[in-house]
Amino acid sequence: MAKPWATFGVDLHLDRSGPGLRRGLTDALRDAVRSGRLAPGTRLPSSRSLAADLGVARNTVAEVYADLVAEGWLAARQGSGTRVADRTPATPGHRPAPHRREPARPAYDLVPGTPELASFPRAPWLRAARRALTAAPDRALGYGDPRGRVELRTALAGYLSRARGVRADPDRIVVCAGFLGGLGVLADLLRHRGARSVAVESYGLPHHRRLLTRAGLATPPLPFDDRGTRPLDDPAAAGAVLLTPSHQFPLGLPLLPERRTALIDWARRTGGLVLEDDYDGEFRYDRQPVGALQGLDPDRVVYLGTASKSLAPGLRLGWLVLPPALVEEAMDGMAGRTPGVLDQLTLAEFLASGDYDRHVRAARLRYRRRRDALVAALAERAPHVRVTGIAAGLHAVLRLPPGTEPQTLRSAAWHGLAVHGLSAFRHPEADVAPSDALVVGYGTPPDHAWAGALEALCRALP
C-alpha cells in the first residue's frame, strides 16, 4: 500500500546520469533548469515526495536541493517550498538578447469579426453546463459519433430550420471545431473527390483562402460588380464556390435573388457544390433576416455555421449541414476535429432552453444601438465619409476619398485604434478596381469604451 505522503506533490521527470547517485541527481536537476525545461518559479516536489518517486533516501534529495540553492539554481523559502530561482543562467557563447520596446497596445479594437466578449452569457451558460452534465449518460464521455453529440445535432436542426430557413435533420449535421475546422474537412473532402479549385469572393477573409491553398486547392475569385458577387462566368472554372450570401463579408451586400437562382443552376448543371458561410446571418437590423441559401437546394449546398459571432470564438463550436451524399465522406475526415463533448452538451441545452434566442435578441439590440451611434457620429463629425454595409452584421464600411486609406490607417494607429482597411480583404487576383475604405467592427469594444472609440475614430478620419 502506498504511503499517504507519496500521493502528494507534483510530478517531475529527471534523467539521472553520471557517477554517483547524488551527483547524477544534481546534474539532472541543474540541466533541467539550465535548458529551460523547469521554468523560473516552478515549484519542485518536496524532498520526501521526490525521494519516494525516485526510490532514494530523503536525505539525498535534501542535500541535492541544498547544493543547488547554494549555487543559485533553486530558491527555498519557509512555507513555500523549493522553487526554481528567478534568474536566467548564462550559457557559453550566449549573449542576452537586447531589450526591445513592445509596440503600444491599441486603446480600442475595431477589427471586424469578434463579438463583445464582455457580454458572453456566463451565468446562463454555467447553468446550462450544470444541467447538461447532470443529465448526460456515462457513455456521452466516450469517443462517440464522429458527427458530434446527437443532443446538439437535434437542437441545431430545430434552431436552424426555425431561425435560418435551413432544411436539416440531425443525421446530416456534423459538429466541427469552429468555421475553419469545418472548412478544413470540406477542403479535404473536395480534394478526395478530385476538385482542383474552390472559387471565392473578390473580397473576403484571407485566412480562408490560405486554408484552401494549403489543402492543395486553387482559389480563383468570383466576378464582382457594384451590386455584389456574381456567379461564375465559366461553368467549369471550379469544383465548388465559397461565399457569404446573406451578408457578404466585408462589403455587406446580400446576394441578389436572381444571382442566388443562377448559382444554384450552376451547381445543378456542373455537379459542383456551393459552400455557404452564414457569416453573422443572425444579426440583421432593418428587416427580416435573409434566409439561408441552403433552403433552395439542400443537395447542392453545404451550410456552414458557427457560434463565434453569436457567443464567442473561443468556444470553437461550428457545424456543417451536408447533402446526404457527403455525410459518410465528411465523417471519415472528422478524426480529431470534433469539439469537446461538454461544450457540445452545454450548447445543446443552451439552445433547447431558449437561452440562446434570448441572448441573440439582446445582442442584436445592443449592436443595432452601436451601429446607429456610429452612423450618427459620422454624419455629424465626418459627413464626407459614406457608410455602407450597415443593414446587418457587426461591422460597417467607411468609404474614403481615393488614395487616403493608407494615411487613414496610420492616423487610426496614432489615435490608438486597431482597424483594417478594405484592401486587406481584396483577392490579389480580383478583376475589380481597388477602393479606399475602412472596415470598422463595432462588436468588440465593451459598452463603457464605445463612446471613446467613436471619438477616436472620428478624429482619425481624413
pLDDT (tens digit per residue) in 244-279: 999 999 999 999 999 999 999 999 999 999 999 998
Task: Check pLDDT > 80 for residue 101.
Answer: no
**Residue 64 neighbours by CB distance under 10 Å:** 25
Task: Check pLDDT > 90 for residue 76.
Answer: no
Q: Which strand ranges, in their side-by-side order, compose the sheet holding 420-421? A: 386-388, 395-399, 437-441, 420-421
Res 87: pLDDT: 66
Q: How far apart are CA 427 and CA 123, in angstroms?
A: 42
Least confident of 73-82, 183-192, 218-227: 73-82
Q: How confident is residue 93, by pLDDT bands cut at 50, 70 and 90? A: very low
Res 104: pLDDT: 58
**Residue 248 neighbours by CB distance under 10 Å:** 24
Burial class (CB in 10 A: 0-12, 13-18, 19+), 324: exposed
**Amino acid type, 27:** D
Length of the chain: 462
Residue range 387-437, pLDDT digits in tens? 999 999 999 999 999 999 999 999 999 999 999 999 999 999 999 988 999
* Phi/psi at 75 (5° precision): -135, 135
Res 89: pLDDT: 43
Using CA atoms, how far residue 229 sits from 23, 131, 224, 234, 330, in Å, is: 71, 44, 5, 15, 28
The predicted model gives 72-90 an average pLDDT of 78
Helix pair angle (47-54, 58-71), 10° resolution? 120
Res 100: pLDDT: 46
Q: Which residue has the cell 450597415?
A: 390
Q: How far apart are CA 378 and CA 373, in angstroms?
A: 9
The fraction of the chain above a pLDDT of 70, given in percent, is 93
Task: Check pLDDT > 80 for residue 79.
Answer: no
Task: Check pLDDT > 60 for residue 9.
Answer: no
265 contacts 274 by C-beta, under 8 angstroms? no
Task: Check pLDDT > 50 for residue 98.
Answer: no
Q: Which residue has the cell 543562467?
A: 89
Grid cell for residue 193: 473527390
Q: pTM for this structure?
A: 0.82
Q: How confident is residue 92, by pLDDT bands cut at 50, 70 and 90? A: very low
Q: How confident is residue 297, by pLDDT bands cut at 50, 70 and 90? A: very high
Residue range 115-132, pLDDT digits in tens? 999 999 999 999 999 999
Q: What string of DSSP letters covers 93-161?
A: T--PPPP-PPPPPPSEE--TT---GGG--HHHHHHHHHHHHHH--GGGGSS--TT--HHHHHHHHHHHH
Res 12: pLDDT: 80
Least confident of 211-220, 230-239, 453-462: 230-239
Task: Check pLDDT > 80 for residue 17.
Answer: no
Q: How confident is residue 69, by pLDDT bands cut at 50, 70 and 90? A: confident
Task: Check pLDDT > 80 for residue 201.
Answer: yes
The predicted model gives 139-168 an average pLDDT of 94
Least confident of 90-94, 197-201, 340-344: 90-94
Res 181: pLDDT: 95
The predicted model gives 43-52 an average pLDDT of 88
The predicted model gives 286-301 an average pLDDT of 89
Task: Check pLDDT > 70 for residue 94.
Answer: no
Q: How far apart are CA 212 and CA 218, in angstroms?
A: 7
Average pLDDT, the chain: 90
